[in-house]
């Protein structure tokens, strides 16, 4: 079950790094917002997975 949690966390970190390192905010605000929206969705998914994992 740890792999199921680790994979989205890695993807979340990758997207956050990409936004920061490419300096996306000043260049293309729309693209940056889309990427950060993905991060938010991944965070919610991780939270749900962890909650379901604790119930077992």
Q: What is the pLDDT of residue 39?
A: 95
Determine the longest span between alpha carbons in the chain, in angstroms. Answer: 45
Q: What is the pLDDT of residue 28?
A: 87
Count of domains observed in the chain: 1
Interval 2-48: pLDDT, tens: 788 899 999 999 999 998 898 888 888 999 899 999 999 999 999 99
| Cβ(46)–Cβ(9) below 8 Å | yes
Higher per-residue confidence, 56 vs 10: 10
Give the residue numbers spanning the domain of 37.
2-55
**pTM here?**
0.81
pLDDT at 1: 72
């Amino acid at each position: 079950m740890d792999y199921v949690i680790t994979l989205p966390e890695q993807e979340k970190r990758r997207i956050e790094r990409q936004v920061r390192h490419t300096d996306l905010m000043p260049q293309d605000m729309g693209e940056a917002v889309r990427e950060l929206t993905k991060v938010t969705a991944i965070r919610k998914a991780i939270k749900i997975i962890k909650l379901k994992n604790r119930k077992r």
